[in-house]
Homo-oligomer: A and B are copies of this chain.
Amino acid sequence: MFMIPKDARITLDPEEIPKQWYNLAADLPDLKPPLNPATGKPATAEDFATIFCKPIIEQEASTKRFIDIPEEVRDNLIFLNRPAPMQRAYHLEKFLKTPAKIYFKREDMSPLGSHKGNTALAQAYYNAEAGIHMLTTETGAGQWGTALSMVSNLFDIDTTVFMVKGSYNQKPFRRTLMEMYGAKCYASPSEYTDFGKRILKEHPDTTGSLGIAISEACEMAAKDEHTCYALGSVMNHVMLHQTTIGLESMLQMEKADITPDYMIACAGGGSNFAGFTFPMMYEKIRGKSECQIIAAEPKASPSLTEGEFKYDFGDTAGMTPMIMMYTLGHDFIPKSIHAGGLRYHGMSPLVSAAYDQGLMTAKSYDQPDTFHAGVTFARTEGIVPAPESCHAIKAAIDTALECKARNEEKTIVFCLSGHGFLDLYGYQQYMDGTLPSSSIDE
């Protein structure tokens, strides 16, 4: 029987929600700009203008270190259960018999089920300000699509979501949820775009990919002037909006006198990872921290650990500018895994640059091992983690066990990106022993 210490949960007041986002682009030297694939020259605002509204384009290119969070966005963050608590995984520590302390930041408490609302809210706000009536987007696991579908309601914007077919079929209730929130949700590749039709003709049995879904959403946005495209990860402005997570975490750690030796988050396109760790990278860059920052990615789509750092397209059709990132190639179609949010061929350019410059490391994990970590977490901490979050948990558990082997009282802080109540099919497969390896090597 355990006694939970009173400081097991570190909360903040609503007034302590950050007033500014942190922009890592201000502090990374030699960032390579996106290129126009036709000219081979740096992409201009016009190259983005068919799919993004002006304030988003400006933010994307900004190298200002701190950017004000609009009052309308900040106030509505309360509604996403911000500020989010940081909690000590006291029961998990006991179970592992580790001398390490384990803390986690709780993005699972958003009513939208994940951290995705943080940027959805900002993007919906800027698009509404710019007079946009409809947003198109892609979604992998469904977390991003869910977030945008709901948040758009607050700004009278309609939403159309292209959901990767593998996830669409695996997670029918994600569609229910998006439709409940009033959005249209199509399995991608779909019949609703020219690119979707082409892929369906060439690969009728494909389970789709984020790259394909992005192409479809961009195509639809480009065709109508009051429609814009919203992306849930990868791009600089998304990373920026997500730093709310890390800025809150830094304040919580300061208040509770926590000096992390390790900060860990899962990484697919990079938004949860960036949001959680970029404020700590700022400390590292300034020589104020020696924290080890670790990205946990899936073996099914290991862009950091097995990809190449080069210019590539963000989507499969090659409609986006070329971006400098770690990539498995824009035509890479990963295996269908439950952590649909991590199934992307590339990695955020900012995260890629940070990785290239040695500010962080990365590890990749196979699907069954991450579900094992997720069940361990559920039995000890009572929380069912999203399959994406299970990657961070797996990395945190491994790190804690290394600390145990070396008898080191280190402090590990990871980000729980979302809950897994809509992913129980995957857990059932894991418990039934029917969950396959997802490694690209197998």
Report A's interface with B, CB cutoff 8 A: 1-6, 8-9, 11, 13-15, 71-72, 75-76, 78-81, 91, 108-109, 111-113, 125, 128, 150-151, 153-156, 172-173, 176-177, 179-182, 375, 378-384, 419, 421-422, 424-425, 427-428, 431
Contacts and interface: CB of A to CB of B under 8 A. Distances in A.
Contacts of A9: 14, 78
A283 B205 CA distance: 65
Given A180-B427, A182-B379, A382-B111, A78 B153 contact: no
Contacts of A80: 382
Contact of A150 (B78, B182, B382, B425): B382
B154 A79 contact: no
B4 A431 contact: no
Given A79-B382, A150-B382, A379-B182, A15 B6 contact: yes
> How many subunits of this chain does the assembly comprise?
2
Contacts of A173: 424-425, 428
Nearest to A150: B382
A1 B154 contact: yes
B424 A177 contact: yes
- Interface pairs A-B: 9 shortest CB-CB: A421-B421, A173-B424, A111-B383, A4-B75, A176-B428, A176-B424, A111-B382, A150-B382, A3-B75
Contacts of A75: 3-6
B431 A76 contact: no
A300 to B, nearest CB: 22
A378 B179 CA distance: 11
Contact of A379 (B6, B155, B180): B180
A428 B182 CA distance: 13
10 contacts: A1-B72, A1-B155, A4-B75, A4-B76, A6-B15, A79-B381, A150-B378, A173-B424, A179-B431, A180-B384
Contacts of A177: 384, 424
A128 B2 CA distance: 12
A93 to B, nearest CB: 13
Given A9-B14, A76-B2, A176-B431, A379 B153 contact: yes
B1 A128 contact: yes
Contacts of A424: 173, 176-177, 180, 422
Contacts of A421: 113, 419, 421-422
A147 to B, nearest CB: 9
A71 B3 CA distance: 8
Contacts of A431: 176, 179-180
Contacts of A79: 4, 8, 91, 381-382
Given A177-B384, A181-B379, 7 more contacts: A2-B76, A79-B381, A112-B382, A173-B424, A180-B378, A180-B427, A421-B422
Contacts of A11: 11, 13
A25 to B, nearest CB: 29
B427 A176 contact: yes
Contacts of A181: 378-379
Nearest to A174: B424
A267 to B, nearest CB: 24
Contacts of A72: 1, 3
A73 to B, nearest CB: 11
A51 to B, nearest CB: 23
A113 B383 CA distance: 10
A5 B15 CA distance: 11
A109 B81 contact: yes
A108 B155 CA distance: 25
Contacts of A8: 14, 78-79
A433 to B, nearest CB: 13
Contacts of A180: 375, 378-379, 384, 424, 427, 431
A131 to B, nearest CB: 13
Contacts of A76: 2, 4
B154 A91 contact: yes
A153 B3 CA distance: 14
A79 B3 CA distance: 11
